[in-house]
Amino acid sequence: MSKTMSAEERDELRKNAPIPVGLKDYRNKMLRNIYNGVVIKVIGYEVTDNGILLWETDNDGVKKWMSPRDIEAHWDEMRVARLVEPFVLGGEEE
């Protein structure tokens, strides 16, 4: 049995590794920059071979990796309100 792992196996482990204890889970969250109001979405994460967590973010097709420290220092989590019922202007629906 071989003790070495293929690159595909290492990539799969990094993408499916649990989030380390004590770190907030930002998966599928929208974040707003506290300085300029830019909005990004966290689309995934990866744990490096050294155990460092990096969040993958997307801003209109521009993807970037960010550390939890960067997110906590410069970004606020957005609360998204959802309408329970459709809102109709001008009276009742027919």
Cα(46)–Cα(88) distance, integer angstroms: 43
Residue 88 lies in a domain: no
Residue 3 lies in a domain: no
Residue 45 lies in a domain: yes
Instruction: Give the model's pLDDT for residue 8.
Output: 87
CATH code of the domain containing 40: 2.30.30
Instruction: Give the model's pLDDT for residue 7.
Output: 84
Residue 69 lies in a domain: yes
Cα(88)–Cα(94) distance, integer angstroms: 11
Instruction: Give the model's pLDDT for residue 92.
Output: 58
- Number of domains composing the chain: 1
Tens digit of pLDDT at every position of the chain (94 positions): 456 878 888 888 888 888 888 889 999 999 999 999 999 999 999 988 788 899 999 998 999 999 999 999 999 998 765 555 555 666 555 5
Domain extent, residue 34, equals 28-79
Instruction: Give the model's pLDDT for residue 55.
Output: 95
Instruction: Provide DSSP, the chain.
Output: ------HHHHHHHHHHSPPPTTS---TT-EEEETTT--EEEEEEEEE-TTS-EEEEEEETTEEEEE-HHHHHHHEEEPPPP--SS---SSS---
